[in-house]
Amino acid sequence: MTGLTHDWPVQASTFCEQFECVDGVGNYDTVNNVVIPASGATEPRAQNSLQHSWEMNYQEAAIYLQEGENNDKFFTHPRSAHALSAYLFAHNHLFYMMELLTAVLLMLLSLSEAPAVPSLRLDVYVHATLELLALVMVAFELCMKLRWLGFHTFIRHKRTMVKACVLFIQFIEAIVVLVRQTSHLRVTRALRPIFLVDCRYSGAVRRNLRQIFQSLPPFIEILLLLLFFMVIFAILGFCLFSRNAVDPYFNTLENSIVSLFVLLTTANFPDVMMPAYSKNRWSCIFFIVYLSIELYFIMNLLLAVVFDTFNGVEKMKFKSLLLHKRSAIEHAFQLLVSRQRPDGVSLKQFDGLMRFYRPRMNARDCFLTFKSLNQSGATMLSLQEFYRFYEVIGLKWKARRSGEHWFDDLPHTVFLIFKGINLLVKSKAFQYAMYLVVAINGIWILVETNMLNDGVSWTRVVPWSYIVFLTIYGIEVFLKITGLGPMLYFSSGWNLFDFSVTVFAFLGLIALAFDMEPFYFIVVLRPFQLLRLFKIKQRYRNVLDTMFELFPRMASLGLTLIIFYYSFAIVGMEFFADVVYPNCCNTSTVANAYRQINETIGNRTVLQEGYYYLNNFNNILSSFVTLFELTVVNNWYITMEGITSQTTHWSRLYFMTFYIVTMVVMTIIVAFILDAFVFRMNYSRQNREPLGDPEDEKGIVFETEVSQTEALQTLDLYKHTLRNTNLSSLQGMCAALERCGQSSLVFLGRRSRTKSDLSMKMYEEEILEWYEEYSTTNLQPDETFHRSLNSPEANATDSIN
Amino acid sequence: MTGLTHDWPVQASTFCEQFECVDGVGNYDTVNNVVIPASGATEPRAQNSLQHSWEMNYQEAAIYLQEGENNDKFFTHPRSAHALSAYLFAHNHLFYMMELLTAVLLMLLSLSEAPAVPSLRLDVYVHATLELLALVMVAFELCMKLRWLGFHTFIRHKRTMVKACVLFIQFIEAIVVLVRQTSHLRVTRALRPIFLVDCRYSGAVRRNLRQIFQSLPPFIEILLLLLFFMVIFAILGFCLFSRNAVDPYFNTLENSIVSLFVLLTTANFPDVMMPAYSKNRWSCIFFIVYLSIELYFIMNLLLAVVFDTFNGVEKMKFKSLLLHKRSAIEHAFQLLVSRQRPDGVSLKQFDGLMRFYRPRMNARDCFLTFKSLNQSGATMLSLQEFYRFYEVIGLKWKARRSGEHWFDDLPHTVFLIFKGINLLVKSKAFQYAMYLVVAINGIWILVETNMLNDGVSWTRVVPWSYIVFLTIYGIEVFLKITGLGPMLYFSSGWNLFDFSVTVFAFLGLIALAFDMEPFYFIVVLRPFQLLRLFKIKQRYRNVLDTMFELFPRMASLGLTLIIFYYSFAIVGMEFFADVVYPNCCNTSTVANAYRQINETIGNRTVLQEGYYYLNNFNNILSSFVTLFELTVVNNWYITMEGITSQTTHWSRLYFMTFYIVTMVVMTIIVAFILDAFVFRMNYSRQNREPLGDPEDEKGIVFETEVSQTEALQTLDLYKHTLRNTNLSSLQGMCAALERCGQSSLVFLGRRSRTKSDLSMKMYEEEILEWYEEYSTTNLQPDETFHRSLNSPEANATDSIN
């Protein structure tokens, strides 16, 4: 034990200099950041300060690893002890949640601010006060960040600076509102999403935005080409068609340009051609040529360019993330090795690190993680082994069960029954019988719905077919749960889906039985049972699996889109609130869409109902729906022209800008889906394994065998050196080993497969190249360290990097 | 010379057995297809039959090479002398043209058949007779094919069989029409494009169709997913919204499905939501979820799947073409080598081949092509050298000019003037000055057009700005032509574009001056001058270059689309001709679009003009325009509902099928553009060269140096052995060599770069693998040949292959 006591870390933590451990005992070498222990210092004091020094190192190593995981740049790494305390304060889930809630609150305020959703309207002083409070919170968060980063780094961090500026403006405006007791034209509210984007939890959104901005330059170049052709054709169109008096689309150059812009989106297509076409049939050539060039060629070119950029960006992003993680691991490794054994991390140090990095992880899992890293079998982890840190850190450990089934331990008769059920539910026949039932159910629903042409009666009586099919599904779920055991059953996404659909159907039945109106919608979800049919074919399984895999990323893209929506909604509300109403736009070309009047056609009187007044900017929810309609593009010019006729010509700029912005985002979404699918297909082709393989569904699995002696040794080690740890998990392991009666036990660590794992496999060869390139440009930290002993500059550049 | 006289070919032509040369002199080894010359045969007779034997071999080798070039399978290779004569009859441009014209005539007949274009209407007996004539021509062509392929192969060739069946049906129908003197319901006319597709010149269209069919299986799978979700949502929508009496979109299950199908194309978007949305604002969620899943996810998935398949198919196609060509070259090589020197092709044999393969090629070019293949410098071409045959065959040869400029030989003063002009037009300043002029012209046109708000006056007086700018452009063109020389000037596509735009502008000016109404459209093309601005930026040059490079392929895709259009137009005309007219559809939901009536709104009377009756199937031209409108998709449901209201519900099937078919073709077009651009970008990235590089524009260049002695030797050789060749080109070469006074002259062979060249460079490594794979599965022809001496079966399988 005494041997270990004097084992000082090779490199001291940056925070360490502030503490007595250095001033008192070691001579702190300020140039090289290395603590040289004073030989012959008094034992207890040395041990105490050694302990402290190690703790500091563990903490900093954990911070490095966290930074590597979150892709935080190292120049924001805390550099001193009080920076550390601010860092720790600002880096925990409570703080993150506060940050997120404040940002969400600020955004939600627009529900109750001046053009408010009627049921959520708040008094001016109420919402202004709420806003001020939220802004104070944001200011407090910024102060913490300032304290942690230091003024110099704070100024250099662009995002934070923008946030500070926006905060300042919002603050002043909120005070002005509070003083005047009325909202003025507050377009700056459109900047509120910045607070949301800056949240720790919005990392994915930030990545998307970065990707969008990276794709912009080539996008804009092609966009210019598009607009250029548009202008040329507008001049042509004006020259050709302006003599036609009944053609409202080309009577001025401005109208001509607007018509062709709308035609680009096809939203006014045959209509824009019709007046010219009715006069001269050959005029259709103009429109066919225009659409062929613009819509079918240049628009696809846009997609091609974005797709290509996207492809490159995705790979580069993966590369830089990978290298950043590697560098983080190297930094951490340097802080964990000791002076006596400078090329290995022992279990003790690893456990110390984990206490900071994953405070909730128990000693057993920590030991198993260490063992799974430690492939050489030595007592120390080398840097090469430690590089795989991020691959094993997310593993969930479990002892491999000796038996196959959950009912193995039950009495024999019961076992046989369960075994029978197990065999039944695993049989192909059972599966196909269920598919058949679902298919029959599908046809039944279709026929039933088709017969039922008034759509009202079905809510009153429960049809018997509903009960029959539900009973079958219920029995299936019951059999499967008992046959496979709940753990195995719920581990499959498809089973979860079956289960929840069945449960919802039961709830619907109850709703029907007790006649609860608002829950009828559950009954309506019945057809979703049919989705189960898609399990039959491999390709559909792949598609749906990929769909679920893509879901997080899609959600973040959706969120990004919503952020754009929010900004546009605010601007729209400020300028166009309460502008359109029934019969508002009788002077415009789209009057029909807003007209709500009894009119006489021939000699009949009919109610003509134009609903477009509903597509307005009267509150934020309506604005969102209107913007979604604009995103879908069809008939968007009706909304545009309606509002333009009530305001000025410049309103068109708003709609055109919105179209272009959504076009960018949508193109990127398309490029993303394309990329993700093509990637997966290439992956499965390269690795010659079907993606929906049952083996594959389990994700990543690591195996670690633990012998009895090893377990006892570890327990012993923990007992002696790491007194403050909770040892129950390790004791449990030893007990399990004894119970099973074998000399060793295999533990399985599982985690789900991420895109990063697929990329690792796809780019295998390139990754090795990158590593080489990386290690030649950045010196190995080992070498850096040795060099730093001689040249202080080298160390300085390293720490900035 | 006598040494050469007895040099029999290693392998005799397949046609040879029919001729006296074998029966009379050589003993024909029927098992191995090898002619063994009878030693000691009478000299003149042997020489005569040897000559004949070689001629046969040249011809068959040329046929093999042609088959390799056209990707004709070898099983259609002519196997006997009378098959050969039919083959030769059916394989020349006269026959191809006849084939094409017949097919086009058949298709054009629908312009004048019963619902005809008014100005082109023909009497029934006229068009039926024309049709019969055309069909007889097709039958004649088929007979030739039967004679060439032999009955057995003819039956096996699917495309030809289909053609024969269609021909038979059309024949009977044409006779029926002629007898009854009236057209019956002739939906089978929709099959007429088959004759066009089968033409030799429609190879690109056939390839596209094959690619479409290859992409179909995965496409259909995803399409089913799409339709499945559609049905589920239709049931949901029916359940949710059918209680709303004013909602016409969901009142029956059928309407619900149709509405959601149309919504898939977004054509009815906000409208389909509005009745539900006005009742309950939350109903928008249904539509947002539907569109997100169907339009933004599954539709993109379709594109991803097609893109992925397309990618793979493109590469496989390239591979199989490459290997097919290689195999053709090997077959040809075997026929060209002689028994005495079995591993090389001499110039004499090569020239003999070229007389059949490229009859128009002169002796000099043939010699230069031989030399460019012959890299080792030996007198014979080895198989390895001969493999590059297709790379050099398209080269256009020209002696490298000693001077740089076309005016080098002029007197000194004139030379200096031209040199000055040359330097001027090549200078950056001149170029940018011209860009500036074009930009000013652009702004001028824009401002002028904007000022001019009635669009009539400009046609009467010639604006002075027009004359000024045109003069500048004229001077520029003149300077460039004189400075660079017409050859160099017109070799650049951009200069050609400048030239034609300027000439058109001049024509327009003349039209203006002489007040010729129909030519005004030329004046209108003026803004296209602005396109020249895009030369400034590299990326635009790339884009436009790629656009021109893609043009042939795009045109063939367009033609493929037109073939689909044609079939649908015929079906549409048969069922929907004269169905819609103004005010026809007052009972349908789209009555407004067809209404043409004075109506009273409030207390004003306005003419409501619905133009949709113009989108009809009254003749083939109108049908094409209508189908284009359906392709653009916007508002297509108006046309569909209008026609449905005048016919039956089943008409919708026609429109939905058409939508799905165009979706397939359009998705493939998008995938093609994506693929082509991504390929080019990858290519330029891999080869680290900008695509628009001036060096690059020249295409592929081969250099061959010819010394004087070599030239004279060749002339001599030709004079003695190949008496019937026209030697003027070779004599010209010798004269040029003498004139230039140097001992050797360099000749440059150029051709434009094709996609295949790019692919060769892209897949360099894979190509080597393919070759290896190919040579291990198919034995080298050398070996096959030697093996065939022992085992007749091996040879038999080889010839079938």
Q: What are phi and psi of A381, to 5 degrees?
A: -90, 125
* A308/B678 touch (CB, cutoff 8 Å), yes or no: yes
Q: Is the pLDDT of residue A269 over 90?
A: no
Q: How far apart are CA B573 and CA B562, in angstroms?
A: 16
pLDDT given for residue A8 in this prediction: 73
Q: Is the pLDDT of residue A105 over 60?
A: yes
Q: Is the pLDDT of residue A468 over 60?
A: yes
* A288/B628 touch (CB, cutoff 8 Å), yes or no: yes
Q: Is the pLDDT of residue A530 over 70?
A: yes
Best of B250, B293, B300 to disrupt the A interface by mutation (most A CBs within 10 Å)? B300
pLDDT given for residue A792 in this prediction: 38
**∠ CA B285-B286-B291 to the nearest 5 degrees?**
95
Q: Is the pLDDT of residue A458 over 70?
A: no
How many helices and strands (H and E) does chain A possess? Answer: 35, 7
Q: Is the minimum CB–CB distance between A208 and chain B shorter than 8 Å?
A: no
Picking from A376, A365, A361, the residue whose alpha carbon sits closest to that of residue A399 is A365
pLDDT given for residue B172 in this prediction: 92
* B599/A599 touch (CB, cutoff 8 Å), yes or no: yes
In three-state secondary structure terms, A73 is: coil
* B597/A601 touch (CB, cutoff 8 Å), yes or no: yes
Residues of B in contact with A673 (CB under 8 A): 297, 300-301, 304
pLDDT given for residue B792 in this prediction: 37
Q: Percent of chain A beyond pLDDT 90? A: 13
- pLDDT tier, A425 (very low <50, low <70, confident <90, very high otherwise): confident
The alpha carbon dihedral of A168, A171, A175, A176 has a sign of positive
Is there a contact between B578 and B537 (Cβ–Cβ < 8 Å)? no
Q: How far apart are CA B180 and CA B191, in angstroms?
A: 22
Q: Using CB atoms within 10 Å of the CB of residue A628, give its burial: 0 to 12 exposed, 13 to 18 middle, 19+ buried.
A: buried
The mean of the pLDDT values for chain B is 79
* A612/B281 touch (CB, cutoff 8 Å), yes or no: no
- pLDDT tier, A784 (very low <50, low <70, confident <90, very high otherwise): very low
Write the pLDDT tens digit of every residue in A721-757: 665 666 777 788 788 777 776 777 788 887 777 777 7
Q: B469 or B737: which carries more pLDDT confidence?
A: B469
Residues of A in contact with B301 (CB under 8 A): 543, 673, 677
Average pLDDT estimate for A406-429: 82
> What is the distance in angstroms between the Cα of A187 and the nearest Cα belonging to chain B?
26
Picking from B79, B105, B255, the residue whose alpha carbon sits closest to that of residue B192 is B105
Residues of B in contact with A297 (CB under 8 A): 547, 554, 673
Average pLDDT estimate for B591-618: 75
Across the beta sheet with A700-707, what order do the strands follow?
A: A396-399, A744-751, A700-707
> What is the distance in angstroms between the Cα of B602 and the nearest Cα belonging to chain A?
7
> What is the distance in angstroms between the Cα of A542 and the nearest Cα belonging to chain B?
11
Residue A761's Cα: distance from chain center in Å? 22
Is there a contact between A334 and A372 (Cβ–Cβ < 8 Å)? no
**∠ CA A197-A201-A202 to the nearest 5 degrees?**
30
Q: Is the minimum CB–CB distance between A648 and chain B shorter than 8 Å?
A: no
Average pLDDT estimate for B770-783: 66
The mean of the pLDDT values for chain A is 79
Picking from B694, B634, B558, B539, the residue whose alpha carbon sits closest to that of residue A304 is B539
Picking from A394, A71, A64, A67, the residue whose alpha carbon sits closest to that of residue A207 is A71
Q: Is the minimum CB–CB distance between B670 and chain A shorter than 8 Å?
A: yes
Residues of B in contact with A243 (CB under 8 A): 455-456
pLDDT given for residue A419 in this prediction: 85
Q: Is the minimum CB–CB distance between B231 and chain A shorter than 8 Å?
A: yes
Residues of A in contact with B308 (CB under 8 A): 677-678, 681-682
What is the residue whose two structure tokens read 């290439």? A682
> What is the distance in angstroms between the Cα of B670 and the nearest Cα belonging to chain A?
6
> What is the distance in angstroms between the Cα of B470 and the nearest Cα belonging to chain A?
18
Q: Give A401's DSSP letter.
A: P
Least CB–CB distance from A543: residue in B301, B531, B540: B301
Q: How far apart are CA A485 and CA B172, in angstroms?
A: 70
Q: Is the pLDDT of residue A136 over 70?
A: yes
- pLDDT tier, B524 (very low <50, low <70, confident <90, very high otherwise): low
Q: B713 or B223: which carries more pLDDT confidence?
A: B223
Contacts of B710 (CB under 8 A, 6+ apart): none
Q: How far apart are CA A377 and CA A386, in angstroms?
A: 13
> What is the distance in angstroms between the Cα of A657 and the nearest Cα belonging to chain B?
20
* Predicted ipTM of the assembly: 0.84
- pLDDT tier, B44 (very low <50, low <70, confident <90, very high otherwise): low
Q: Is the pLDDT of residue B18 over 50?
A: no
- Identify the weakest region by mean pLDDT among A21-30, A701-710, B274-283, B400-409: A21-30
- pLDDT tier, B116 (very low <50, low <70, confident <90, very high otherwise): confident
Is there a contact between A671 and A214 (Cβ–Cβ < 8 Å)? no
* A673/B304 touch (CB, cutoff 8 Å), yes or no: yes
In three-state secondary structure terms, A388 is: coil
Q: How far apart are CA A112 and CA A121, in angstroms?
A: 5
Q: Is the pLDDT of residue A484 over 50?
A: yes
Least CB–CB distance from A527: residue in B235, B308, B634: B235
Report CA-CA distances (Å) from B771 to A583, B322, B686.
74, 9, 23
With CA atoms as reference, the chain B residue closest to A632 would be B266
β-strand partners of B34? B29
pLDDT given for residue B98 in this prediction: 92
Write the pLDDT tens digit of every residue in B232-248: 899 888 888 888 888 88
Q: How far apart are CA A69 and CA B30, in angstroms?
A: 76
* B633/A266 touch (CB, cutoff 8 Å), yes or no: yes
Average pLDDT estimate for B741-759: 76
Q: Is the minimum CB–CB distance between A310 and chain B shorter than 8 Å?
A: no
Residues of A in contact with B300 (CB under 8 A): 669-670, 673-674
Q: Is the pLDDT of residue B166 over 90?
A: yes
Exposure string of A271-283, with b = 16+ CB inside 10 Å and e = fewer, is bbbbbbbbeeeeb
* A221/B301 touch (CB, cutoff 8 Å), yes or no: no
Picking from B501, B448, B628, the residue whose alpha carbon sits closest to that of residue A238 is B448
Q: Is the pLDDT of residue A798 over 50?
A: no
How many helices and strands (H and E) does chain B possess? Answer: 35, 7
Q: How far apart are CA A198 and CA A229, in angstroms?
A: 39
* B531/A232 touch (CB, cutoff 8 Å), yes or no: yes
pLDDT given for residue B599 in this prediction: 62
Q: How far apart are CA B697 and CA A12, in angstroms?
A: 62
Please identify among residues 178-197 of chain B the ones whose CB lies closer than 8 Å to any CB of chain A: none
Please identify among residues 497-556 of chain B the ones whose CB lies closer than 8 Å to any CB of chain A: 521, 523-525, 527-528, 530-531, 533-534, 537, 539-540, 543, 547, 554
Least CB–CB distance from A269: residue in B592, B611, B629: B629
Q: Which tokens belong to B152?
A: 């057995």
Q: Is the pLDDT of residue A83 over 60?
A: yes
pLDDT given for residue B571 in this prediction: 94
> What is the distance in angstroms between the Cα of B677 and the nearest Cα belonging to chain A?
6
Contacts of A530 (CB under 8 A, 6+ apart): A438, A441, A442, A445, B228, B232
* Per-residue H/E/C for B121-135: CCCHHHHHHHHHHHH
In three-state secondary structure terms, A85 is: helix
Residues of A in contact with B255 (CB under 8 A): none
Residues of A in contact with B638 (CB under 8 A): 270
Average pLDDT estimate for B611-633: 90
Least CB–CB distance from B634: residue in A269, A305, A670: A269
* Strand-pair category, A396-399 with B396-399: unpaired
Q: Is the minimum CB–CB distance between B439 and chain A shorter than 8 Å?
A: no
Report CA-CA distances (Å) from A520 to A464, A504, A525, A574, B244.
17, 11, 9, 38, 16
Average pLDDT estimate for A134-149: 89
> What is the distance in angstroms between the Cα of B220 and the nearest Cα belonging to chain A?
12
In three-state secondary structure terms, A216 is: helix
Average pLDDT estimate for A688-702: 55
Residues of A in contact with B291 (CB under 8 A): 632
pLDDT given for residue B588 in this prediction: 80
With CA atoms as reference, the chain B residue closest to A311 would be B678
Q: A542 or A306: which carries more pLDDT confidence?
A: A306
- Identify the weakest region by mean pLDDT among A360-374, A718-732, B141-155, B352-366: A718-732
Q: What is the pTM of this model?
A: 0.83
Q: Give B362's DSSP letter.
A: -
Give the torsion through C-alpha atoms of A173, A177, A183, A185, to 10 deg: -20
Q: Which range scores top for mean pLDDT: A586-600, B393-407, B477-491, B632-646? A: B632-646
> What is the distance in angstroms between the Cα of A378 and the nearest Cα belonging to chain B?
43
- pLDDT tier, A522 (very low <50, low <70, confident <90, very high otherwise): low
Q: Is the pLDDT of residue A21 over 60?
A: no
* B232/A531 touch (CB, cutoff 8 Å), yes or no: yes
Residue B678's Cα: distance from chain center in Å? 20
Q: Is the minimum CB–CB distance between B728 and chain A shorter than 8 Å?
A: no
With CA atoms as reference, the chain A residue closest to B281 would be A622
Q: A604 or A38: which carries more pLDDT confidence?
A: A604
Q: What share of chain B is helix, strand, coil (3-state, %, to 5)?
A: 70, 5, 20
Write the pLDDT tens digit of every residue in B338-385: 877 777 888 888 888 888 888 888 888 888 888 888 877 777 888 888
Q: Is the pLDDT of residue B431 over 60?
A: yes
β-strand partners of A601? A604
Is there a contact between B526 and B445 (Cβ–Cβ < 8 Å)? yes
pLDDT given for residue B796 in this prediction: 34
Q: Which range scores top for mean pLDDT: A592-606, B81-95, B553-567? A: B553-567
Residues of A in contact with B267 (CB under 8 A): 634
Residues of A in contact with B523 (CB under 8 A): 239
* B673/A301 touch (CB, cutoff 8 Å), yes or no: yes
Average pLDDT estimate for A332-356: 82
Least CB–CB distance from B453: residue in A252, A311, A539: A252
